[in-house]
Amino acid sequence: MSGVAKSSRDDAQVFSQGEVVADTYEIRALLGAGGMGEVYEAHDRQLNRRVAIKVVRNNVAADYLLREGRALAAIHHAGVVTVHTMGRHRGIAFLVLERVQGISLDRLIEERRKHSERFAVGEAIELLVAVADALTIVHRAGLTHRDVKPANVMLAPGGRVVLMDFGLVLPHADRAGHRTVAGSLDYMAPEALTGELAEGAAHLVDVYGLGVLAFELLAGIRPFDSAEESTDVYRMKMSSPPPAVASRRSDVPDRLSTLIGQMMAADPNERPQTAEAALWQLRSIRDRRGSAATNKPFTVLVVDDDPDMRTALALYVRAAAPGADIETIGDGRQAIRSVRRRVPDLLLVDLDLPDINGVEVCMLVRGMQLGDACMIVSVSGRATRADVELLTQLGVRSIQKGPSVMNELVQLVQQMRPRS
Amino acid sequence: MADGQEWDIDSLLAAARIDFAVRLPLRIEEIELLATGEKWAEARREIHKLRGSAATYGFEDIGSTAVFLEDLLLAADGAPSPDARLRFDEALRDARAQADRAAQEGL
């Protein structure tokens, strides 16, 4: 549920746990609540699946719900939450949505902040490409999201990045709606703060939101401080040029820093004129980094608490890739820190590690949304069938410790080397 | 390599295997000490490591003995029963003999 549009919250839940909505959806838990309404997890008794049910508290908000439902119904894309149906129960309008499991980007940013860890540049670019891709689809459907922010981006299993909460969505053509001030202060474009959107330029508030999100991902902080009153934030956004991400961290390519600055331009005419334009630039930056990487050595991270295994694995890699840059590490936490610092082409990880186990390491690395930038291989002496199944789902290859490790590893590295 | 030499990987692998073999008795001794001190969690961890690396370096007899030892400790889930302890000690003696043989061959 979205920021400025919130009103005071009524603590009583609209639906109660166990209640069956419209003879079909059994309410299981409250997932979240805001000023405008609530989102529940429910079980669809007909189709035997989990769903999310969104309800609103009043008729004005019901209009938003209808708008959200219709907007989502117009879009079919992995990066946008799917709507199943709409209905009424006890006179209350509700929207049935796909239940997206995962972690929201704002929580992930907060986790990293707590541990003084940053998103790797490659990881941030992959996330931005995914969000820009989803926004492109939304804009092509003639809609403006109006609340692009990390809290509305879910990271789901399988590397899926999903744009959520279309509660403030508006058709580009809705002139009256665009005069309503709505969104979340930190991520709102200056023109959205005043409700003065130029005709045909409403979607540029989403480009601005994407820019702020990008800045936060890379810098770890937001560019403007919303502790101020909204008028002060507006003044800041209008009078100060957006800070450059590259000034916060030296590993951000200048092109990316410039693009993020352009997306956050106070004048909408100075931003990339569509989400798609931003998307193509992001892809180009990603691809250029990829081709620059082809001149870099093949990088390998070996994680095993047994020094003898580390030696053996490093030698096997060396046998197939003599010039490989190999780092060896004895525990999982250090491995995660290392991957965040530099994403290896190949990560070899033991499952039985003393602090966080290898399966968790694989899950955390997959959660970094590195795409195919990092091949993960578990090398274990005692993987259970459940471990192997989970690892397979995570796209992790498994090798059993033993005399065949060398051959398997040499073959694998030789297959991978053309990439490096 | 930085100095332009080709990696003689076979020699390096052979050297690593010998290095592993000559240190095997020390690894068994460490497990014996942990077992004597009834530090079963640490003992299991060391046995687990030995299981993986021995099999990988091609010492499959020690690897198999380590599998037996680890399974025994996993089943005990802590201190083994007196009967299990007897079997544990017996297997550890086997491992010691296998390690000594491997070290001799290595030297």
pLDDT digits (tens, 9 = 90+) for A190-227: 887 777 777 777 889 999 999 999 999 999 888 876 55
Query: What's the gap in Å between the CA of B35 and the closest CA on chain A?
Result: 19
Reported as a single tens digit per residue, the pLDDT across A318-350 is 888 888 899 999 999 999 989 988 889 899 999
Query: How high is the mean pLDDT of chain B?
Result: 88
Return d(Cα A391, Cα B41) in angstroms, integer.
Answer: 26
pLDDT of residue A305 exceeding 70, the answer is yes
The answer to whether B53 contacts A308, with C-beta atoms less than 8 Å apart, is yes
Measure Cα distances from A354 to A107, A338, A341, A382, A411 in Å.
Answer: 27, 17, 22, 14, 29
Confidence of residue A2 (pLDDT cuts 50, 70, 90): very low
How many other CB atoms are there within 10 angstroms of residue B48's CB atom? 22
| A218 touches A260 (CB < 8 A) | yes
How many other CB atoms are there within 10 angstroms of residue B6's CB atom? 7
The answer to whether B9 contacts A350, with C-beta atoms less than 8 Å apart, is no
The answer to whether B6 contacts A382, with C-beta atoms less than 8 Å apart, is no
Query: How high is the mean pLDDT of chain A?
Result: 83
Reported as a single tens digit per residue, the pLDDT across A357-414 is 888 888 888 777 665 678 889 998 877 878 887 787 777 888 888 888 888 888 888 7
The answer to whether B63 contacts A402, with C-beta atoms less than 8 Å apart, is yes
User: B8: nearest CA in chain A?
Assistant: A319
Please give the average per-residue pLDDT across A57-62, as a whole number: 72
Catalytic sites of A, residue numbers: 147
Residues 4-33 of B with CB under 8 A from A: 6-7, 9, 12-13, 16, 20, 23
pLDDT along chain B (107 residues), means of 10: 51 86 94 95 94 92 94 91 94 94 82
B22, B24, B27, B33 alpha-carbon torsion, rounded to 10°: -100
Reported as a single tens digit per residue, the pLDDT across A66-96 is 888 888 888 888 899 899 999 999 988 899 9
Helix (H, G, I), strand (E, B) or coil at A170: strand
Helix (H, G, I), strand (E, B) or coil at A27: strand
Q: Which residues of B touch A309 (CB under 8 A)?
A: 49, 52-53, 56
- B45 at interface of A, judged by CB pairs closer than 8 A: yes
pTM value is 0.56
Residue among B56, B60, B70 with most chain A CBs within 10 A, to mutate: B56
Burial class (CB in 10 A: 0-12, 13-18, 19+), A23: exposed
Query: What's the gap in Å between the CA of A292 and the closest CA on chain B?
Result: 21
Residue among A308, A310, A315, A378 with most chain B CBs within 10 A, to mutate: A308
Return d(Cα A275, Cα A167) in angstroms, integer.
Answer: 20
**Looking at residue A298, what is its pLDDT?**
87
